[in-house]
């Protein structure tokens, strides 16, 4: 469970005559994670794609293009289809012709629509003039220009022009129509020449009769007709999509599978007549792999388990078992440093790391999403998934500790688990576990439901355990601080312990002592001294008294004897010396065991913060008082009659806040008060619920990632990606 699944490197070698059937069989097993040949063996070259690969890829591009044009989504498939290879090309060609024709029509229609829109936009300035379009052109003795600009500047420029005898400017808003009579013996565009440098942007005038408004109306009719045509094309495309979505998705899957098979030799080492394929499979399935290949492939194959990777912490798998078959070729190095291999297998042509198959029980496996969010564990490392499963929900539940919130977290988790797949489903499972522990701690804290202690409902007069928010229970807040530190010490001990085991397996006992045991001595030595009576004066009393508080007086703890504290300091000193010998640069971090444990105080801080927020919401909505004349616990008021009763006994009760609901009385004000109190409670608790996710969730994950993981975990493992395909849209004859 703390280790990935054991993997074996296997070799499959044979003649090119059985290459196709070997690939087909291996692909069907969906078991072999192929290793890419690195071209380092003399006499072997990288394989080439099988015949027909290019044609398959062209068809695949065509299918994906059609899916893009039609907007086909993964959920559009209605059934699994058995693809007939002989009919695929003709059906695909027919569909391509139809879809491309519709797409071309759609593009052309959109172009016409854009053109009409542009013409309508150009006519807006002409509409401001209110002059019929046929009056703006077609004169023999007049030149006309229409544009937008500054009328005064236009008139001044025209008046100064010697090429113009007379002119008239008609305006509508910022649009102006200039009518001018050129002087005798002038040529060229006299208006354009006269208006050079003047703020005047010309507007083209269409060749049409009638007013601009009439022409715009005509264009609007044309636009409506084009839009109707476009809608018909879109409807036809949608119908085509609905009719052929399953076929396209199935064709894409079929062609992807075929392309995968055709391109498989790109990972092989090959000669003119033979091939060698290598890869990783789970060790326990080697017999199945070998027997299936021998049964399905009609021809000689050399199949061997050439190495079985053992676990260590080096970041590199070591060989625990290597093939000793008598016909296995020996790796050698010639003068040119070219390694040699034989086509009968038995040698490793590619030195690569084993892929990682995380091996966790089903109850813990959803927490792999939290691990892989950082990085997949290396094959050589401990997989912390199970440990996160055992600690993260515990921390989360401790920090929130409320039955009401826990039920909501679990309910959201159940919805996600049932409604989604993949990461969302796994997050739903995590939410369920977090909700369950939140409920358990909510019971422990006094049957706490949305910040309200419900134990009196069960006829219980008093509840000993508290979150520590009430004036009479402050010792509990300090006790939870000590509990948080103790949890941190245990958590870090586990991390350093795993580091010790890893270093021992990688190197030897000496390295494990220098690099891991040194930190264990520092961590435990310092904290044993802190919890001892040695130099007890400056140490706060609550670090000793908290044990009695948490155990309700069943266990008393006055601190470790002074001699034990001194021994702890000695152990910490020895740890520092060992650390200095093994890793001198790490001495700068010699106080990190203290700092790391103090970091776990955030658990207590979130507990008090979230409990305080829930209390504040209820206090605002329903009011609260403290019994024992302000020295006891918080109690909610709810009603005006209870408020009056509490206010009448100041020697026994202290009102903290009257609350919105206590303003209730017959009439409109009372109804508003009740509605307001309920609204404040609902909105407030939703905010606390959401902040609980961000605060408790993020802080819990931070403690796992930063404080715990970095003691033994690096990550960077390769995912196991076997050569095969999980069919979704296609079926087979089998």
Residue 629 lies in a domain: yes
Among 245-249, 403-407, 639-643, 704-708, whose mean pLDDT is lowest?
A: 639-643
443/460 Cα distance (integer angstroms): 13
Residue where a domain stops, chosen among 258, 277, 307: 258
- CATH code for position 275: 3.30.70.240
pLDDT value at position 642? 83
Task: State whether 32 and 70 are in the same domain.
Answer: no
Range of 199's domain?
120-217
- b/e map 111-148, b = 16+ CB within 10 Å: eebeebeebbeebebbbbbebbbebbeeeeeebebbbb
Q: What is the mean pLDDT of residues 209-234?
A: 88
pLDDT value at position 334? 34
Among 34-38, 78-82, 232-236, 466-470, whose mean pLDDT is lowest?
A: 78-82
Task: State whether 513 and 583 are in the same domain.
Answer: yes
Beta strands in 299-431 (DSSP E): 301-310, 318-322, 339-340
Task: State whether 507 and 568 are in the same domain.
Answer: yes
> Is pLDDT at 608 greater than 90 in this prediction?
yes
Between residues 298 and 437, the one the model is more confident about:
437
Task: State whether 247 and 282 are in the same domain.
Answer: no
Task: State whether 304 and 196 are in the same domain.
Answer: no
Q: Which residues pair with 10 in a beta bridge?
A: 279, 305
Vertex 654: Cα angle to 652 and 657 (nearest 5): 150
- Model confidence pLDDT, tens digit, residues 149-208: 888 888 888 888 888 888 888 888 778 888 888 887 777 788 888 888 888 888 888 777
Residue 64 lies in a domain: yes
> Is pLDDT at 320 greater than 70 in this prediction?
no
Residue 432 has which token pair?
Answer: 């369920």
Q: Are 341 and 329 in contact (CB under 8 A)?
A: yes
Residue 429 has which token pair?
Answer: 């499972």
Residue where a domain stops, chosen among 676, 692, 708: 692
Ordered alpha helix ranges (H), 468-517: 474-506, 509-512
- Model confidence pLDDT, tens digit, residues 640-684: 888 888 888 888 888 888 888 887 666 677 788 888 889 999 999
- CATH code for position 138: 3.30.70.100
3-class state of residue 721 by DSSP: coil
Q: Are 126 and 175 in contact (CB under 8 A)?
A: yes
Task: State whether 330 and 301 are in the same domain.
Answer: yes
pLDDT value at position 340? 43
Ordered alpha helix ranges (H), 420-473: 423-444
> Is pLDDT at 315 greater than 50 in this prediction?
no
Q: What is the mean pLDDT of residues 24-47?
A: 90
Q: What is the mean pLDDT of residues 464-487?
A: 91
Residue 378 lies in a domain: no
pLDDT value at position 324? 43
- Model confidence pLDDT, tens digit, residues 702-720: 999 999 998 988 888 999 9
Q: What is the mean pLDDT of residues 212-232?
A: 89
Residue where a domain stops, chosen among 324, 340, 356: 340
Residue 495 lies in a domain: yes
pLDDT value at position 577? 94
Q: Are 469 and 489 in contact (CB under 8 A)?
A: no
pLDDT band of 257, cuts 50, 70, 90: very high
Residue 450: is it exposed, middle or buried by C-beta count within 10 angstroms (0-12/13-18/19+)? buried
pLDDT value at position 733? 61
The values of phi and psi at residue 203, to 5°, are -120, 130
pLDDT value at position 312? 56
Containing 667, the helix (H) or strand (E) segment is: none
> Is pLDDT at 437 greater than 90 in this prediction?
yes
Selection from 116, 118, 122 nearest residue 175 by Cα: 122
pLDDT value at position 182? 87
Residue 526 lies in a domain: yes
pLDDT band of 698, cuts 50, 70, 90: very high
Arithmetic mean of pLDDT over the chain: 87
CA distances in angstroms from 206 to 140, 219, 225, 226, listed in the order given = 18, 12, 21, 20
Q: Are 535 and 569 in contact (CB under 8 A)?
A: no
> Is pLDDT at 597 greater than 80 in this prediction?
yes
- Model confidence pLDDT, tens digit, residues 476-493: 999 999 999 999 999 999
Residue 282 lies in a domain: yes
101/103 Cα distance (integer angstroms): 5
For the chain, the first-to-last Cα distance in angstroms comes to 35
Percent of the chain with pLDDT over 70: 94
Containing 13, the helix (H) or strand (E) segment is: strand 7-15
Task: State whether 176 and 269 are in the same domain.
Answer: no
- Model confidence pLDDT, tens digit, residues 563-572: 999 999 999 9
CA distances in angstroms from 730 to 253, 723, 727, 733, listed in the order given = 7, 18, 6, 10
> Is pLDDT at 319 greater than 80 in this prediction?
no
Task: State whether 498 and 583 are in the same domain.
Answer: yes
Residue 53 lies in a domain: no
> Is pLDDT at 316 greater than 50 in this prediction?
no
> Is pLDDT at 370 greater than 90 in this prediction?
yes
> Is pLDDT at 18 greater than 80 in this prediction?
yes
> Is pLDDT at 342 greater than 60 in this prediction?
no
SS3 annotation, 532-594? ECCCCCCCCCHHHHHHHHHCCCCCCCCCECHHHHHHHHHHHHHHHHHHHHHCHHHHHHCCHHH
Task: State whether 82 and 230 are in the same domain.
Answer: yes
Q: What is the mean pLDDT of residues 301-307?
A: 90
Task: State whether 299 and 314 are in the same domain.
Answer: yes
pLDDT value at position 347? 52
Residue 237 lies in a domain: yes
Number of domains forming the structure of the chain: 5
Task: State whether 479 and 581 are in the same domain.
Answer: yes
369/428 Cα distance (integer angstroms): 11
Task: State whether 551 and 657 are in the same domain.
Answer: no
Residue 268 has which token pair?
Answer: 């092989």
- Model confidence pLDDT, tens digit, residues 69-78: 999 998 888 8
């Amino acid at each position: 469970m703390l280790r990935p699944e054991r993997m074996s490197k296997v070799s499959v070698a044979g003649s090119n005559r059985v290459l196709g059937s070997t690939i087909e069989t291996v692909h069907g097993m969906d078991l072999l994670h192929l290793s890419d040949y690195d071209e380092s063996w003399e006499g072997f070259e990288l394989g080439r794609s099988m015949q027909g690969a290019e044609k398959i890829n062209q068809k695949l591009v065509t299918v994906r293009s059609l899916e893009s044009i039609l907007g086909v989504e993964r959920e559009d498939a209605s059934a699994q289809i058995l693809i007939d290879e002989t009919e695929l090309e003709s059906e695909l060609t027919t569909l391509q012709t139809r879809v491309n024709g519709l797409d071309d029509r759609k593009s052309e229609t959109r172009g016409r629509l854009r053109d009409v829109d542009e013409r309508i936009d150009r006519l807006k300035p002409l509409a401001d003039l209110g002059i019929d379009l046929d009056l703006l052109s077609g004169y023999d003795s007049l030149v006309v220009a229409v544009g937008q600009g500054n009328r005064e500047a236009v008139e001044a420029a025209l008046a100064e022009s010697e090429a113009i005898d007379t002119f008239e400017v008609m305006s509508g808003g910022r649009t102006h129509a200039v009518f001018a009579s050129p002087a005798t013996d002038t040529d060229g565009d006299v208006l354009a020449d006269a208006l050079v440098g003047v703020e005047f942007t010309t507007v083209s005038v269409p060749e049409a009769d009638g007013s601009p408004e009439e022409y715009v109306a005509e264009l609007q009719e044309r636009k409506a007709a084009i839009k109707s045509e476009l809608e018909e094309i879109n409807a036809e495309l949608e119908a085509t999509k609905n009719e052929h979505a399953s076929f396209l998705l199935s064709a894409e899957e079929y062609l992807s599978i075929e392309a995968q098979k055709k391109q498989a030799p790109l990972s092989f080492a090959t000669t003119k007549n033979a091939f060698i394929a290598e890869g990783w499979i789970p060790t326990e399935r080697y017999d199945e792999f070998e027997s299936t290949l021998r049964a399905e492939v009609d021809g000689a194959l050399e199949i061997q388990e050439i190495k079985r990777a053992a676990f260590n912490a080096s970041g590199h798998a070591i060989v625990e078992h290597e093939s000793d078959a008598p016909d296995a070729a020996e790796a050698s190095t010639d003068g040119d440093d070219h390694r040699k291999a034989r086509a009968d297998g038995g040698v490793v042509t590619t030195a690569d790391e084993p892929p990682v198959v995380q091996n966790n029980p089903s109850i813990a496996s959803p927490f792999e999403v939290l691990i892989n969010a950082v990085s997949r564990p290396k094959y050589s490392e401990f997989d912390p998934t199970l440990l996160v499963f055992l600690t993260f929900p515990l921390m989360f539940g401790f920090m929130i500790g409320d039955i009401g919130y826990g039920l909501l977290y679990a309910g959201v988790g159940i919805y996600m688990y049932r409604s989604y797949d993949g990461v969302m489903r796994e997050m739903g499972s995590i939410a369920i576990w977090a909700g369950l522990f939140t409920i358990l701690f909510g019971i422990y804290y006094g049957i706490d439901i949305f910040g309200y202690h419900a134990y009196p409902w069960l006829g219980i007069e008093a509840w000993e355990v508290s979150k520590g928010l009430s004036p009479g229970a402050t010792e509990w807040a300090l006790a939870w601080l000590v509990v948080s530190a103790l949890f941190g010490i245990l958590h870090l001990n586990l991390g350093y312990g795993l580091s010790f085991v890893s270093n021992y397996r990688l190197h030897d006992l000496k390295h494990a002592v220098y690099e891991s045991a040194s930190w264990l001595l520092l961590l435990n030595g310092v904290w044993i001294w802190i919890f001892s009576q040695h130099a007890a004066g400056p140490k706060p009393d609550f670090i000793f008294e908290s044990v009695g508080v948490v155990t309700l007086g069943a266990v008393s703890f006055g601190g470790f004897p002074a001699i034990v504290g001194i021994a702890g300091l000695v152990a910490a000193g020895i740890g520092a010396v060992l650390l200095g010998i093994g890793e001198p640069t790490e001495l700068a971090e010699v106080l990190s065991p203290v700092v790391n444990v103090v970091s776990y105080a955030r658990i207590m801080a979130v507990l008090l913060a979230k409990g305080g927020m829930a209390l504040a919401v209820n206090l605002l909505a329903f009011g609260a008082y403290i019994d024992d004349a302000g020295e006891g616990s918080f109690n909610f008021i709810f009603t005006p009659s209870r408020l009056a009763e509490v206010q009448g006994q100041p020697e026994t009760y202290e009102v903290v806040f009257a609350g919105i609901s206590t303003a209730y009385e017959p009439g409109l004000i009372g109804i508003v008060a009740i509605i307001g109190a309920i609204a404040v409670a609902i909105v407030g608790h939703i905010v606390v619920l959401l902040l609980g996710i961000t605060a408790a969730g993020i802080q819990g994950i931070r403690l796992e990632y930063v404080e715990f993981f970095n003691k033994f975990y690096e990550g960077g493992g390769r995912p196991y990606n076997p050569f095969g395909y999980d069919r979704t849209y296609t079926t087979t004859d089998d």
